Structure 1
């Protein structure tokens, strides 16, 4: 059996509700896997088969109690410009395409999507499918593989989710439904209203009207879950989750134009003793304890973006006053002397001078390094700390700075620290997720008294909260019947 969760808009709650449904089915003894035909995101994860998928599907796999696999997100688009993206199929990059080229490629890629979906169906009793954006984007209906185009090809039932907290929920649901074709309308088994706060009695008249007008039921109204945390699919959260900023370790993260895997910072955003601020275009980097340069899909482009914003000067001033600087993946590459891209793998071919803070240089190649790793982090004057994470990069880095690595992994080394101890760079995404390595980095940054929680337990708690809400507020009898219904 299967069910596709589509939304009236982006950020309607598709990813979170899909994760919750995965956990609900697992609780009922049903083997279940997540699936998203096509994802466009710069937040990605490395799978057990050394592929690359969207982070949302990795979290959903955790909700299912299984390891993430490339079949769970067979097409991932990683934008590198406003009109182009790297196309990843079955976990591996196949090249760059602009929007017109990819649109023409969709009939071919649908074959890979359906093959992955059927493999999951053969291995699991249920598959929970997540759509993308909205099925009512009529300009994208032709050759659609992300929403109803997939549902029709796979004969998959659909529920539609809308976020009432944004306003206009009945217009969103009614309008979305009415823009579907007759066969697509038949495929819709009901609606879920998400993030409601207030007295539900005030909704009843609107629900009655909607059900009468479209002939479909509202299967549930989920409450607004304050403080719910699950990793975001792509959008950068603009607000610190803990807003009391007195007596905290202060961290600034410049939001670069092709920022990737900003979920690296989620554990820091959740911590009550850390004030992490995302700094947007046109804002100066503030006085802080630590500046972290994040990952980037286009390192050379983002080096120019940093200089255009004057953040390089802010960073150098920060170092002169004894502040610490950390770089992750693309941010790590930026700290070196040069970044070369001889074949134009991330944009125009050429070389860009780095920030010159570490004695290393990077050459961008065509083959990505994709691996999940564990090892030991050895900061000077600290006890060894366990580190876990994952690598997603096409760059090969060399230079004398690598002669004294800070991280030793199963089969290779990673990470460097400057001679003065102020600058630390690593290729590892997810390096803050393990409590020991997070504690060690915060110690290096200047705070020895911060206790780091188990981030995996925080993520589990978030999954359980949404699953509990679904069990309480959604008609699971009708939902399970919909999953088995022939369309």
Structure 2
């Protein structure tokens, strides 16, 4: 088979490409079609672990409990893709695959990114000037896309930024070059809440070459507030200028439940009902995998706050130190803001502290880097651990059972949680501190440790709060499932798109 390709482009970043792509994946999957998402290049520190294509060539993953060259009984090595494509694949009812996001850029600084090609870190590409990468990676991108097209009925493609960034046109590998390669039927979405939506749509269309304009089949107005009839006559005037109809006006919708891909959550969505637990998540500059906190937003009575100053931690029941793409640099930032003292004082009062991945490393005594991976630094000293950065990166899906915990986290005792690991650091008990009797309680071998008082917990396992068993243990509730979220997105889209448009997009001429 050869798939029909539908592509979602945006006038800007944040226009709504990711969630619209996700909604389209679920819509077409509900029609009984084989659907796959695709994004040629994503820039995000939110990543998920999937089975590399190599494993697919060999066969499916081994049965649970079977040994394999890429993992043991409870861990399967894998590759990385952007979280948005991971969720889109689940919405499409497809197995997540590195081909769905062949190139992932993970920012480590304002002018430097780690480059992940087909799920694996490429040091060669990471060290290469940005504009020099395009032709080297383009064959990998087209091979991945062509393979997905051969295996599916519909491939829903997400663009990046804007297709009209004319300074990047010559090195484009994610927008119109991809669209031309598969003759995709494109929707162009804009955020009308920002203002200037019709100018954004017209300007983007006008800057495209004529052949590319022909691929634009519809305009989408996203995040509209108010009476849609008041938009007239602008949609008709825009169509007269471009020949392209406005096919949907989507109302503002804050609580759709899909994790934000690039931005942190905001305070526009408050906890439902009386707040019983306030969780302050440290918002350091190189935060990674922030999407794993989305389920907490859906737990009744839980309020999430981004902490950038000590005042933001005031009144918090928990302080969470999340993942980081640059742990030593983020630790330095933490100290500059005085947040190190805020965390230490919170812990000293018996307040709950949770460190995840990079956050776990920061809670220890020291970061040791002999390979130039991240940097050396003294830790916060809340756990008697030391982390050494290794040249090899741990990337695996993991299922593990908590041992006996005490104090704040005792309800997790015996709970089996499934998640994923992405880290260079290897953490262990600090030997000199152990000799003095200061020993961390290892509650998951090699993955999680607790302090003697029981209020500080560090864990390498990402995705804890996405596991229903963990939410039940901690809060006695289960958040809405992703399946519920995906169906809600598709329902919303189907209700607001002009009749027949979605079917017409995949109708083979």
Q: Is the 8 A contact 2:440 2:452 kept in 1?
A: no
Aligned residue for 1:117, secondary structure, equals helix
Q: CA deviation at 1:388?
A: 1.3
Note if 1:377 corresponds to 2:402: yes
Where does residue 242 of structure 1 map in the other structure? 270
| Alignment match of 1:472 (pick from 476, 495, 501) | 495
Where does residue 47 of structure 1 map in the other structure? 50
Rate the CA distance shift 1:108–1:188 in 2: closer, same or farther, 3 A. same
Q: CA deviation at 1:162?
A: 1.1
User: Residue by residue, what CA displacement relative to the aligned partner does 1:300-341 show, whole Å, maximum 9, x if unpaired?
Assistant: 111101111111111111122111211000000111111122
**CA distance in structure 2 between the partners assigned to 1:275 and 1:482 by the alignment:** 41
- The unaligned stretches of length 5 or more in structure 2 are 53-77
TM-score, scaled to structure 2:
0.87
Q: CA deviation at 1:57?
A: 0.8
Rate the CA distance shift 1:37–1:197 in 2: closer, same or farther, 3 A. same
Q: CA deviation at 1:233?
A: 0.9
Where does residue 446 of structure 1 map in the other structure? none
**CA distance in structure 1 between the partners assigned to 2:164 and 2:485 by the alignment:** 30
**CA distance in structure 1 between the partners assigned to 2:200 and 2:250 by the alignment:** 16
TM-score, scaled to structure 1:
0.91
Aligned residue for 2:465, secondary structure, equals coil
Q: Is the 8 A contact 1:53 1:76 kept in 2?
A: yes
Where does residue 325 of structure 2 map in the other structure? 297
> What are the residue-to-residue correspondences of 1:66-465 with 2, within 5 Å?
66-95=94-123, 101-239=129-267, 241-243=269-271, 246-280=274-308, 285-346=313-374, 350-378=375-403, 379-380=405-406, 382=411, 383-399=413-429, 404-407=441-444, 413-440=446-473, 442=474, 450-455=475-480, 457=481, 459-465=482-488
User: Residue by residue, what CA displacement relative to the aligned partner does 1:226-250 show, whole Å, maximum 9, x if unpaired?
Assistant: 5211011111112262246855212
Aligned residue for 1:194, secondary structure, equals strand
Query: How many equivalent pairs are there?
Result: 469
Aligned residue for 2:161, secondary structure, equals coil
Q: CA deviation at 1:377?
A: 2.1
| Alignment match of 1:18 (pick from 18, 21, 39) | 21
**CA distance in structure 1 between the partners assigned to 2:283 and 2:268 by the alignment:** 14
Where does residue 60 of structure 2 map in the other structure? none
- The unaligned stretches of length 5 or more in structure 1 are 443-449
Where does residue 445 of structure 1 map in the other structure? none
Task: Give RMSD over aligned pairs.
Answer: 2.1
**CA distance in structure 2 between the partners assigned to 1:97 and 1:236 by the alignment:** 28
Q: Is the 8 A contact 2:40 2:141 kept in 1?
A: yes
Rate the CA distance shift 1:99–1:167 in 2: closer, same or farther, 3 A. farther
Q: CA deviation at 1:414?
A: 1.8
User: Residue by residue, what CA displacement relative to the aligned partner does 1:156-177 show, whole Å, maximum 9, x if unpaired?
Assistant: 2321111222222111111111
